């Protein structure tokens, strides 16, 4: 639909949601069917790295097509508009609001483009929240406890990891036979958390800010035929279950062992795919070695994790913030391109 039609009208509603990104500790890598994960994953939700979506809802005239205009920071963004259009048309039955309404989305991120932060998680999280909220408002329905469960389900259909951003703190996604209420369809918050894990930091060391050479979708699909797939999925399920106990019990050492091994295993899967590839850079290894050396020397519970990219996420508890900040300034700052200081947050927020 050309932009000069419904955008000339006055919107009947305007909603703004802010949704944070998250960092996985036990990684989701491999999916099947309609965005069903091959294993359970665990993440914590961030606070400073978020997407904000302003959704304007307009009346729609006799048109059965989806009417969407997508802007990124007030500029038309056709590639992302097409991705969102596909998402909406693939799951139109989930978005009844689109049958008789046109929508304009303007999105912005709090973090720089290509910073190695999963922008699809926060963007699809915010899109799902604002569209679901619009449906509730138009049907005069108030939010109930199902709201975030449903928004998690809708966010998952856009990007798997987005479903974990619907709650603050530690979150789990993926059916796991030893975790009650776990589901492949939506994420659940992990509620029993020891004081040691109540506030963690994620300082992102940007080693390389070039666009990714291999997309996450390609990476996930390479797990379909992967020679180690079966044991990898079993390992992640077992680790996710163990992680839930560790978070309740407060054992730093066990947490670190799983977190670091998960990061290396994720990259090992990429390196051992049929179409193998390598995302780590010399700067990634340098930062990892410095982090391990610092931990050995100080016994401070700092560790690293990696996403599907070369940038290093330095994780540590609030209590050690000052010492770790000095370590970052003395040992890491000069050898990375940029540093983003983030920490655990409380989940999405309705701004308007
Ligand atoms: C390495 O959620 O980006 O960050 O479902 O295809 O959108 P899609 O993939 P995405 O994959 C994230 C992979 C990861 C690990 C994780 O977040 O668990």
DSSP 149-218: HHHHHHHHHH-GGGGGGGSSSEEEES--TTSTT--SSSEEE-----GGGSSEEEEEEES--SPPSS-HHH
pLDDT, tens only, 12-67? 889 999 999 999 999 999 999 999 999 999 999 999 999 999 999 999 876 778 99
Q: What percent of the chain has pLDDT over 70?
A: 97
For residues 97 and 82, what is the distance between their CA atoms, to the nearest angstrom?
A: 19
Using most ligand atoms within 8 A of CB, pick from 30, 38, 123, 161 the residue to mutate for ligand 1: 161
Give the distance, in angstroms, between the CA of residue 10 and the centroid of all CA atoms in the same chain.
33
Burial letters for 53-78: b for 16+ Cβ neighbours within 10 Å, e otherwise?
A: bbbbbbebeeeeebbbbbbbeeeebe
pLDDT, tens only, 248-305? 999 999 999 999 999 999 999 999 999 999 999 999 999 999 999 999 999 999 999 9
pLDDT, tens only, 177-233? 999 999 999 999 999 999 999 999 999 999 998 888 888 999 999 999 999 999 999
- CA 155 to ligand 1 center in whole angstroms: 12
Q: Which atom of ligand 1 is nearest to the CA of 26?
A: 18
How confident is the model at residue 144, as a pLDDT?
A: 82
- CA 106 to ligand 1 center in whole angstroms: 23
Q: Which atom of ligand 1 is nearest to the CA of 43?
A: 18
CB-count burial class (<10 Å; 0-12, 13-18, 19+) for 281: middle
Q: For the residues 124-145, what does the mean pLDDT come to? A: 90
Give the pLDDT band (50/70/90) at residue 114: low
At 41 the three-state DSSP class reads: strand
Using most ligand atoms within 8 A of CB, pick from 83, 118, 277 the residue to mutate for ligand 1: 118
For residues 292 and 55, what is the distance between their CA atoms, to the nearest angstrom?
A: 44
How confident is the model at residue 142, as a pLDDT?
A: 85
Predicted confidence (pLDDT) at residue 4 exceeds the cutoff of 60: no
Going 263 to 265 to 266 to 270, the CA torsion angle's sign is positive
For residues 159 and 170, what is the distance between their CA atoms, to the nearest angstrom?
A: 18
pLDDT, tens only, 58-105? 998 767 789 999 999 999 989 889 999 999 999 988 888 888 899 999
Are the beta carbons of 168 and 344 closer than 8 angstroms?
A: yes
- CA 215 to ligand 1 center in whole angstroms: 10
Q: Which atom of ligand 1 is nearest to the CA of 307?
A: 1
How confident is the model at residue 3, as a pLDDT?
A: 46
Q: Which atom of ligand 1 is nearest to the CA of 35?
A: 5
The ligand 1 site (C-beta within 6 Å) comprises: 24, 27-29, 41, 118, 120-121, 159-161, 216-217, 220, 266, 307-308
- CA 137 to ligand 1 center in whole angstroms: 31
For residues 161 and 184, what is the distance between their CA atoms, to the nearest angstrom?
A: 12
- CA 44 to ligand 1 center in whole angstroms: 14
The count of residues in the chain is: 352
Token digits of residue 67: 């009417």
For residues 41 and 174, what is the distance between their CA atoms, to the nearest angstrom?
A: 6
Q: Indicate the pairing of strand 303-306 with strand 312-317.
A: antiparallel
Q: Which atom of ligand 1 is nearest to the CA of 121?
A: 2
How confident is the model at residue 1, as a pLDDT?
A: 47
- CA 216 to ligand 1 center in whole angstroms: 6
């Amino acid at each position: 639909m050309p932009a000069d039609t419904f955008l000339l009208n006055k919107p009947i509603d305007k909603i703004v949601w802010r949704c944070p990104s998250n960092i996985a500790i036990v990684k989701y890598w491999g999916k099947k069917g309609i965005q069903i994960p091959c294993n359970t994953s665990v993440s914590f939700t961030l606070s400073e790295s978020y997407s904000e979506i302003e959704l304007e809802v307009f009346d729609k005239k006799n048109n059965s097509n989806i009417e969407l205009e997508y802007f990124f920071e007030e500029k038309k963004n056709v590639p992302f508009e097409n991705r969102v259009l596909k998402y909406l048309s693939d799951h139109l039955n989930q978005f009844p609001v689109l049958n008789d309404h046109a929508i304009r989305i303007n999105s912005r991120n709090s973090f720089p483009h290509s910073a190695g932060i999963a922008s699809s998680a926060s963007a699809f999280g915010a899109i799902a929240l604002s569209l679901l909220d619009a449906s509730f408002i138009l049907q005069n329905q108030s939010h109930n406890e199902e709201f975030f469960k449903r928004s998690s389900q809708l966010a998952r259909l856009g990007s798997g990891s987005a479903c974990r951003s619907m709650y603050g703190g530690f979150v789990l996604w993926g059916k796991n036979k030893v975790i009650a209420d776990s589901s492949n369809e939506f994420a659940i918050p992990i509620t029993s958390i020891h004081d040691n894990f109540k506030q963690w930091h994620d300082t992102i060391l940007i080693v390389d800010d070039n666009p990714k050479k291999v997309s996450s979708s390609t990476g996930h699909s390479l797990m379909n035929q992967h020679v180690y797939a079966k044991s990898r999925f079993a390992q992640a399920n077992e680790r996710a279950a163990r992680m839930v106990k560790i978070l309740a019990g407060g054992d730093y050492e066990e947490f670190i062992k799983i977190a670091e091994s998960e990061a290396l295993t994720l990259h090992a899967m990429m390196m051992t795919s049929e179409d193998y590839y390598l995302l780590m850079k010399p700067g990634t290894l340098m930062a990892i070695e410095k982090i391990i050396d610092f931990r050995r020397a100080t016994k401070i519970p700092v560790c690293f994790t990696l996403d599907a990219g070369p940038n290093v996420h330095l994780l540590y508890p609030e209590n050690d913030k000052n010492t770790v900040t000095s370590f970052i300034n003395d040992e890491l700052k000069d050898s990375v391109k940029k540093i983003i200081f983030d920490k655990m947050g409380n989940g999405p927020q309705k701004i308007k």
